[in-house]
A = this chain, B = another copy of it.
């Protein structure tokens, strides 16, 4: 069993403080997931009110990052955790950095939409599918985080291959658009940036999964292929 009863684990050694931090991470994760999901809806529906809302909300994500980071530092200094407790706090510190940068992607998409609100809209190709897949990955990674479920983290990690393939196909499609009608280039480039950013969100969700594995297994699996992660964990 790779699942850990996190609450039980903590109450024995840490205290309500750390539970509070874990809840805050999930609040932050939920907010970032919403921002990302809204960004994809805003692209798809060219919804400028939603775009404005995303940009306006970004400061909440940033504030949560700073707040959780400070709380983690305080906990380390005060509680002097060792071994797996320390790994958990360090995993949280890394997790919120990636969450914050996923939040930045949503904000940048919102800003891009606002900048181009009055211009001719580009062909929308199949961004929606890829976008929804990254949101789903993020959702499942946060779920895996809440349960510190290594099996689930490995599954989510593997999902990124699909995002990469969808991304490649979107790029090919957009290139064809541009070559057929060069006047669309400036607009299509904006869509390209969005696609690229979403592809990078998949990479960041992989990081989140790696932090879960790091915490539970004590193994640093960054820079390790999916297959090797599987083998390393003896599956």
Q: Does A216 contact B (CB under 8 A)?
A: no
Determine, out of A29-37, A38-46, A49-57, A68-76, the stretch whose residues face the partner at the interface. A68-76
Q: Which residues of B contact A185 (CB under 8 A)?
A: 175, 178-179, 185
**Given A90-B73, A93-B93, does the pair A66, B182 have CB atoms closer than 8 Å?**
no
Complex Cα distance, B80 from A223, in Å, reads 28
Partner of A66, one of B82, B94, B196, B223: B223
Starting from the known contacts A69-B220, A76-B86, A179-B183, 17 additional A-B residue pairs (CB-CB under 8 Å) come to A59-B223, A62-B222, A66-B220, A66-B222, A66-B223, A73-B86, A76-B76, A77-B82, A80-B80, A93-B94, A171-B189, A175-B185, A178-B182, A179-B185, A185-B185, A193-B196, A196-B196
List of B residues within 8 angstroms of A192 by Cβ: 189
Q: Is A65 an interface residue (CB 8 A)?
A: yes
Number of copies: 2
- Which B residues are in CB contact (< 8 Å) with A82? 77
Interface string of A175-206 (1 = CB under 8 A from B): 10011001101100100110010000000000
Chain B residues positioned under 8 Å from A62 (CB to CB): 222-223
Nearest-neighbour CB distance to chain B for A174, whole angstroms, equals 9
A97 contacts the other chain (CB 8 A) = yes
- 26 A–B pairs (Cβ distance < 8 Å), ordered by A: A59-B223, A62-B222, A62-B223, A65-B222, A65-B223, A66-B220, A66-B222, A66-B223, A70-B220, A73-B86, A73-B87, A76-B76, A76-B86, A76-B90, A77-B82, A77-B83, A90-B93, A93-B93, A93-B94, A171-B189, A175-B185, A175-B189, A178-B185, A179-B182, A185-B185, A193-B196
When distances are taken between beta carbons in the complex, the residues of chain B under 8 Å from A77 are 81-83, 86
Contact B179 A175 (CB under 8 A): no
Enumerate chain B residues within 8 angstroms of A73, measured Cβ to Cβ: 86-87, 90
> Residue of B at shortest CB range from A85?
B77
Taking beta carbons and an 8 Å cutoff, which residues of A are in contact with B? 59, 62, 65-66, 69-70, 73, 76-77, 80-83, 86-87, 90, 93-94, 97, 171, 175, 178-179, 182-183, 185-186, 189, 192-193, 196, 220, 222-223
